[in-house]
Structure 1
Amino acid sequence: MAGRANRRRGEVEAILGGERRILCLTLGALAELETAFAVDDLASLGARFANGRLKARDLIRIIGAGLRGGGNVFSDEEVAALDIDGGVAGAGRIVSDLLTAAFAAEGEAAATNP
């Protein structure tokens, strides 16, 4: 089932809890993150992530929002308990891929998935 994610739609594929899942930072997921991180707009949200200093709780929130945006039903508490392929480094890669897919210019995101 590899290759189900469509990067042009901002989708990312990851193995979480032993299952391959699609994650996406939809507008709803981004609005959820604006609230969770107490920022006023997308530019502020992007700036918050750009510093590269994310807490474990931040990774959980971003992955959770991405899962929900991809149509998966998980609370942040359930995300925190998931076995993530690659551990903390794997969670960081998932978050990096999600943020790149959501915030990169069209040509940048498309270059990673022709």
Structure 2
Amino acid sequence: MANPWRGEVTLVIDGEPRVLRLTLGALAELEVGLGEASLVDLVARFESAACSSRDVMALVVAGLRGGGWQGTARDLLAAEIEGGPLGAAKVAAELLARAFTPVGEA
């Protein structure tokens, strides 16, 4: 079960609940993977209307890896994600928001 005080979010993949969390390492991996120079640029990318499905997938993968998952984006290509693309996008948005919410405000 996800702990919002730690910035965690749950996403059900292939019927199994998974905890996602954006650790500093996961954020660094996300920056590199998306070619962003800073956290500010990364957040701005997701706040813009130009956010792509690739961006959502990268954020979900980073969150899963921050939650301890050892897979890759390739492992999710055929996975059944609860709520489909919209469900994944909602979880990605919540994950990013929780990563930057001060403790006590989750």
- In structure 1, the gaps of 5 or more residues are none
State the match for 2:4 in structure 1. 7
Structure 1 distance, partners of 2:32, 2:57, is 15
1:101 corresponds to = 98
- Structure 2 residue ranges without an equivalent (≥5): none
Deviations 1:10-53 (A, max 9, x none): 11111112101100011011001110111111111111111143
Question: Which residue does 2:45 correspond to in 1?
Answer: 48
For 2:68, what is the secondary structure of its paired residue? coil
Deviating more after overlay: 47-56 vs 88-97: 47-56
Query: What residue number does 1:66 align with?
Result: 63
Deviations 1:59-92 (A, max 9, x none): 1111111111001121111122211001111111
SS of the aligned residue for 1:21 comes to strand
Query: Given the superposition, is the C-alpha separation of residues 30 and 12 from structure 1 closer, same or farther in structure 2, using an over 3 Å criterion?
Result: same
Q: Distance in 2 between matches of 1:99 and 1:70?
A: 14
* TM-score when normalising by structure 2: 0.91
Match of 2:34 in 1: 37
RMSD between aligned alpha carbons?
A: 1.4
Secondary structure at 1:44's aligned position in 2? helix
1:107, distance to aligned residue in structure 2 (A): 4.9
1:67 & 1:31 partners in 2: Cα distance? Answer: 14
Which of 13, 17, 21 is matched with 1:16 structurally? 13
Aligned residues: 106
Aligned match of 2:88 in 87, 91, 113? 91
